Amino acid sequence: MRRQRSTIRDVARRAGVSVTTVSHTFSGNGVVNPSTQARVRAAATALGYHPDVVASGLRRSRLGVIGLVLRPAVGVEPQQIQDVDYFPRFAGAAALTSLGQGYALMLVADPSVPDAPATAWACDGIIVTDPVEHDPLVAALRVGGMPYTLVGSDPADPDDPHVIDIATEPITDRVLDHLAAAGATRIALILGTDPIEWNTATERRYRERTPPAAQYVRYVPERSDPEEGAAAADELLALPEPPDGVYCMTSDHARALVDRLVARGVRVPEDVRVVCGSDADGLRNSAPEITAVDLQPQALGRQAAAALLRQLEPALTLEVPPPAHGTLVVRTSTRA
């Protein structure tokens, strides 16, 4: 039989204090001396009592929870997210920054998707990674007055004031410069299809910097089979002048591309230099190891959490170090 839950009156009776004193002990309101607080908490522990955080949150219009929506994670298996360095490192840093200010971070489903749980709307604010073009979630957050922070901009609304800069164009410059310095003169771009800044700004910068006659862009959906990367390699090798450098945005496709190049007798990096747009464990374990962009997910996670916390607590003076945008982890695939 389930034990009946203890009440605040039970705690007050056991500790020999008033109900108000118990309430102030747990809410932080009023003044309760430390020895009395200790007695109240000991009584609560003995009785298995804990405050009703939902009721308390409703009274304060604050639950103490920040929601995190990983926009590219819709329709993706959890294992696929874990295999990419970016997401767990981002979420971990954002969670620790939030915790340091008394908030919990909770991964929630996109509430703008039909039949999605409405859990996100109970949060005090929401962090959205990689908003899509004309993002319906961002529109809903604005209409509902929900505080939010975006990591990367909505490509259709680059002037949103609540955006953490992911520096896509400077990163693209760094990659193209690195490939050129490694000896590449004909650089291809293998790009995802999600309508997010990471894709759109990368392609725009690539086309600005690459002569039209030398441009080659292959679109590979982020969640397609890794063998799409191998197919892209076959297409590149079939060109009249195959590229000697490749910037491939997603890790699974970059690894499959390199595997296919090597299987067909192409030397990496002597014949083709390859850089991936986001680091992952599979790139470190490939043969050869693949150079990748460190997107600084931990720094971005701290920035996103801090920006949202400052919206929730206007008096908060929380500063975090900026990301070192464009850092490259140079490995065998581009090393001379």
The 8-class DSSP code of residue 76 comes to -
Q: Report whether CATH 3.40.50.2300 matches the domain 65-166+297-324.
A: yes
**First-to-final CA distance of the chain:** 71
Environment class of 76 (CB within 10 Å of its CB; exposed 0-12, middle 13-18, buried 19+) = middle
8-51 fold: 434 Repressor (Amino-terminal Domain) (1.10.260)
> Candidates 3.30.390.10, 3.30.230.10, 3.40.50.2300, 3.40.190.10; correct CATH number of 168-295+328-334?
3.40.50.2300
- β pairing state of 187-191 and 245-248: parallel
pLDDT at 76 > cutoff 70: no
Residue-level pLDDT at 216: 96
The answer to whether 206 and 247 have CB atoms below 8 angstroms apart is: yes
> Can you give the residue ranges of every domain in the chain?
8-51, 65-166+297-324, 168-295+328-334
Q: The whole model's pTM is what?
A: 0.81
- β pairing state of 327-329 and 273-276: unpaired
Identify each DSSP E strand in the chain by its residue range: 65-70, 104-107, 125-129, 148-151, 163-164, 187-191, 217-219, 245-248, 273-276, 291-294, 327-329
Residue-level pLDDT at 59: 46
Helix (H, G, I), strand (E, B) or coil at 136: helix
Mind listing the pLDDT tens digit for each residue in 85-96?
788 999 999 999
Task: State the average pLDDT over residues 147-159.
Answer: 94
Provide the residue type at 57 as one letter.
G
- Cα(279)–Cα(203) distance, integer angstroms: 19
pLDDT at 117 > cutoff 60: yes
The answer to whether 195 and 329 have CB atoms below 8 angstroms apart is: no
User: CATH topology of 8-51 equal to that of 168-295+328-334?
Assistant: no
